[in-house]
A and B are shown apart, each in its own frame.
Chain A
Amino acid sequence: ETGVTQTPRHLVMGMTNKKSLKCEQHLGHNAMYWYKQSAKKPLELMFVYSLEERVENNSVPSRFSPECPNSSHLFLHLHTLQPEDSALYLCASSPDRGYNEQFFGPGTRLTVL
């Protein structure tokens, strides 16, 4: 257990659905991250939040909408996704955005039909 939890662990959705992924960290960290891991592709950084402020958006399409209401919670809101968005979505946190070690959650396996 890394102290970073993600729910749900698995999600199947249609292209017209709206769903949200949730990440929670119990480590008192100030920085949180969303990554995407597609089959046969390396992990890709999507978003970085530091003290609840988005500090990086890695050219992610607007159908992915992050939200960080406080330093312990991070959401990824999904709408009108495409089948190619099917992937493992990983959340991570670190004490601050300059810290060397990131702590990852187990991920949400998303399938878009």
Chain B
Amino acid sequence: DAKTTQPNSMESNEEEPVHLPCNHSTISGTDYIHWYRQLPSQGPEYVIHGLTSNVNNRMASLAIAEDRKSSTLILHRATLRDAAVYYCILRDPFQGAQKLVFGQGTRLTINP
């Protein structure tokens, strides 16, 4: 499985945008980029995924570099509820059974 690299922790303020980076220099052409987050005392929660183009949904935006070696998860206006560990995961849908390989993720702290 291709590896991702994320900062261990980040801090931001409430109501400000947050940009969470992820490096994946060994990404293959068929790997999708997935983001999940895990709030305290809960299981992981799907946030967004993409292949090449930038993606938007109600939770966040995903900006993918042109060479696909990095991506950024954007929370447009952080709230206290966004404090969580954010995981960037690569997955090849042609590998058969879906296998999410989680790294250590980025622990995001939101200050009031």
Query: Which A residues are closer than 8 A to B by beta carbons?
Result: 2, 4, 31, 42-45, 48, 50, 55-56, 90-92, 94, 97-107
Contact = CB atoms under 8 A, between A and B. Distances in A.
Interface string B23-44: 0000000001010000001111
Given A100-B32, A102-B46, A94 B98 contact: yes
B49 A43 contact: no
B102 A102 contact: no
| Interface majority SS (helix, strand, loop, mixed), chain B | loop
Contact of B100 (A55, A91, A102, A106): A102
Contacts, number: 60
Contacts of A101: 46, 49
A43 B44 contact: yes
A42 B103 contact: yes
Interface residues of B, number: 21
Interface of B: 32, 34, 41-46, 49, 91, 93, 96-105
Contact of B102 (A43, A91, A97): A43
23 contacts: A2-B45, A31-B97, A31-B98, A42-B101, A43-B44, A43-B100, A45-B99, A45-B100, A48-B97, A50-B97, A55-B97, A94-B98, A97-B98, A98-B98, A100-B32, A100-B91, A102-B44, A103-B46, A104-B43, A104-B44, A104-B45, A106-B41, A106-B42
